[in-house]
Amino acid sequence: MLYGHATFHTSPYSLSGLNEATQHEELAVDLFLQSIVNSLIQGGFFALWAVGMVLVFGIMGVVNFAHGELVMVGAYAIWVLKAQMGMGYIPAVFIAVILVMLIGIFMERFLFRPKREDPLGGLINSIGILFILQVVALLVGGTGPAKQVTPAFPGTLILDEFMRIPHQRLFSLGVSIAALLILWFFLTRTKLGWSMRAVALDREAAALQGININRTSLIAMAISAGLAGLAGALMAPISNIYPHMGHNVIITAFIVTIVGGLGSLSGAVLAAFLYAILHTFVTAYFSGTIASMVGLLLMVVVLIVKPTGIMGQRVSE
Amino acid sequence: MNKFNLTQFVVMLTLFIGLILLPHYLRYQHQDFMIFLIINVLVVVSYRLMTLTGEWSLIHIVMMGVGAYTSALMSKHMGVSVWLTIPLAGLSAAVLAGLLSTPLFRMTQFYFLIGSFAVGEAIRLAWIFFIKPFGGSSGISSVPSPELLGIDFMDPIPYYYLVLIVVSLCLWVLYRIEKSRIGLTLNAVHWKAPLAQSVGVNTWKYRTLAFMVASLFVGIAGALKIHYLGNVTPHQFGVGSMVFVLIWVIVGGYNTFYGPIIGAVVLSVLDESLRNLNEYRPAIYGVLLIISIMFMPKGLEHISQGLKDWIKTAKSSS
């Protein structure tokens, strides 16, 4: 079975095993503070995952089920380049992002563009790519246990005896926020960004204004894939790397996307951090399974009560 | 319309005789394969009833699990005869579908797809979380198999016949439903919902009905599966299995009754013949999926249709 062992119990992102040595004597306050810090870091990842999906859905109208696999490819690229070939972390991240971008460009050009008028076809094509990328990961990494990459930035920021943040995680958070800010700047301050937002609002009207839909879609997919690759590359040193790791990514991205309002980038970012807080706290105080159930049910409630999400605008038929 | 069609009758008869004789010429593992294949045929055909209304759900396999868990729990812990738990499994899935339809059908199209996925996944997580009575991740093992007149249903051949009879009956009922007034109305709900509403069709009611009937039959399929396997786990009903159902239906073609059957049979046989490739098989599936979507968006059934037309023209020209 495809996702046979990908249960939520062992979510590699729950980050609660951070300081195992001291965990048993942790005080409630420390658990609380640590959870806040963890949710911020996790929120950065959630936002990177979801923003790429929103971008592709908004501009191309495609639900990319293989988005989680793009994250997985980014993580595998780091494993191959850093752990296997001994390359430095920063150049490896750049190569990983470019590699995943190229995959994204290929997908847009040959799979999504011919199916622009057939959303179901695009969705099925993305499932096809999902299968292929998982098997490619198996071919590259073999079937053994999950891969791990040693952190590029060892050392830990010690705020007090019970609250420690490894530098690697701080780096991830910083890069995630920087990437989101650059994207925001690009979309709101450049001409290309405006044209992309115009396509998202009304494809035909944008085309009539002389905006090249093909080029815009290609750039949107490249950015989306690049963000996914970046997320994977940032996750590589702090989580398990295995072919089915995209499962968790896609479910989280769906929840965040729906809660934030399909097509709303700012809504997705806000929802990412809110959901990260919810997920981390429920995981810390109850269990990972309950946290996932709460997330899924939250999504259903939002779908029923306010399908446009917390930041979505009302869309006319 | 109901004119007796000799060719069709002969084809059906040969198919039936073939299916009756088949298990005696197969090795053990292939007998297993045939049992699961026939169950999967019921899964895809019942799914098609749902898609008739134009809504694609991702909860179908979870409904199969609802049937499976119901049947397993009742037969193992409450001592109810398996002959009774199999229909009850279908009934419980249908009742749950009826209850879920109120929130679910507030959504349509893409939102329904995602909403149904979320609800299904939440149900599946409940099976993992509530170890009592569902047994957590490892599920329920040593589920009893049916008993009748001393026939050993642990043996694949009697179980094969049981599955063949039950599934044939279910397919017949599903076929009759599709050709009946209800089936036509479901089509109307899909293609002309506002028009159907304007002539007094309660589209909500018909969507719910389709969801309940589809769940009823897939619940039966779930019970059939686990009484042969002997165990039930949450992983059997994950989104991965659901994706395979989608692939079978779409590659086979969802515009006709037999399209999904062709899809399930062709892809399963192909999958079985690639067995020695093990974990690399999904890539073959992925490539096939993309090829079929890009080059024959109407599915495999379309090829058979094309073949029929070709024979017809060849006949008339000669």
- Across the interface, do B286 and A128 touch by the CB < 8 Å criterion? yes
The per-residue pLDDT for range B230-287, each reduced to its tens digit, is 888 888 888 888 888 888 888 887 778 888 888 888 888 887 787 777 777 888 888 8
Token pair, residue A200, equals 């998202």
* Alpha-carbon gap: B197 to the closest alpha carbon of chain A (Å): 18
User: Which B-chain residues 10-39 have CB contacts (< 8 A) with chain A?
Assistant: none
The per-residue pLDDT for range B33-80, each reduced to its tens digit, is 888 899 999 999 999 888 888 788 889 999 999 999 999 988 888 878
Contacts 24+ apart (CB under 8 A), B262-266: B262/B299, B262/B300, B262/B301, B262/B304, B263/B44, B263/B299, B263/B300, B264/B37, B264/B40, B264/B41, B264/B43, B264/B44, B265/B37, B265/B41, B266/B300
* Alpha-carbon gap: A95 to the closest alpha carbon of chain B (Å): 25
- Across the interface, do A2 and B119 touch by the CB < 8 Å criterion? no
Q: A255, A299 in Cβ contact below 8 A?
A: yes
Query: Residue B248 is inside which H or E element, if any?
Result: helix B239-252
Nearest-Cα residue of chain B relative to residue A293: B122
Count of A-B CB contacts under 8 Å? 128
Which of A184-193, B217-226, B300-309 has the lowest average pLDDT? B300-309
A2 interaction partners in chain B (CB closer than 8 Å): 238-241, 243-244, 282
Average pLDDT rounded to a whole number, residues B107-127? 84
Exposure letters B40-75 (e unless 16+ CB within 10 A, then b): bbbbbbbbbbbbbbbbbbbbbbbbbbbbbbbbbbbb
B103 interaction partners in chain A (CB closer than 8 Å): 300, 304
The per-residue pLDDT for range A251-266, each reduced to its tens digit, is 899 889 888 887 788 8
Q: Is B148 helix (H, G, I), strand (E, B) or coil?
A: strand
* Alpha-carbon gap: B284 to the closest alpha carbon of chain A (Å): 8
Q: What is the pLDDT of residue B315?
A: 67
- Across the interface, do B107 and A304 touch by the CB < 8 Å criterion? yes
* Alpha-carbon gap: A286 to the closest alpha carbon of chain B (Å): 11
Q: What is the pLDDT of residue B229?
A: 85
Give the phi and the psi of residue A98 in degrees, each rounded to 5.
-65, -40
Q: Where are the domains of chain B?
A: 32-237, 238-318
- Across the interface, do A293 and B285 touch by the CB < 8 Å criterion? no
Out of A124, A138, A258, closest to residue B280 by CB: A138
- Across the interface, do A127 and B289 touch by the CB < 8 Å criterion? yes
Q: What is the pLDDT of residue B284?
A: 84
Peptide bond into B133 cis (omega under 30): yes
Q: Cα–chain-centroid distance for residue A309?
A: 19
Tell whether the model's pLDDT for residue B18 goes beyond 60: yes
Q: What is the pLDDT of residue A226?
A: 96
Q: Where are the domains of chain A?
A: 22-150+165-245
- Across the interface, do B122 and A297 touch by the CB < 8 Å criterion? yes
* Alpha-carbon gap: A274 to the closest alpha carbon of chain B (Å): 18
Weakly modelled stretches of chain A, pLDDT under 70: 1-27, 161-162, 307, 309-317
Q: What is the pLDDT of residue A312?
A: 57
* Residue B243 touches partner A, C-beta closer than 8 Å: yes
pLDDT bracket for residue B152 (50, 70, 90)? confident
A307 interaction partners in chain B (CB closer than 8 Å): 107, 111
Average pLDDT rounded to a whole number, residues B100-122? 83
pLDDT bracket for residue B317 (50, 70, 90)? low
Out of A125, A131, A293, closest to residue B125 by CB: A293
DSSP A232-251: HHHHGGGS-B-TTTHHHHHH
Q: A163, A33 in Cβ contact below 8 A?
A: yes
Nearest-Cα residue of chain A relative to residue B277: A135
- Look at the block and give the residue holding tokens 């799979």: A111
B236 interaction partners in chain A (CB closer than 8 Å): 1
- Across the interface, do A296 and B126 touch by the CB < 8 Å criterion? no
Average pLDDT rounded to a whole number, residues B109-114? 80
Q: Is B169 helix (H, G, I), strand (E, B) or coil?
A: helix
Out of A132, A143, A293, closest to residue B283 by CB: A132
How far from B193 is each of A19, A119, B46, B184, B185, CA to CA, in Å?
57, 20, 22, 12, 10
Candidates B214, B117, B237, B11; CA nearest to A296 is: B117
- Across the interface, do A2 and B239 touch by the CB < 8 Å criterion? yes
* Residue B294 touches partner A, C-beta closer than 8 Å: yes
d(CA B292, CA A302): 35
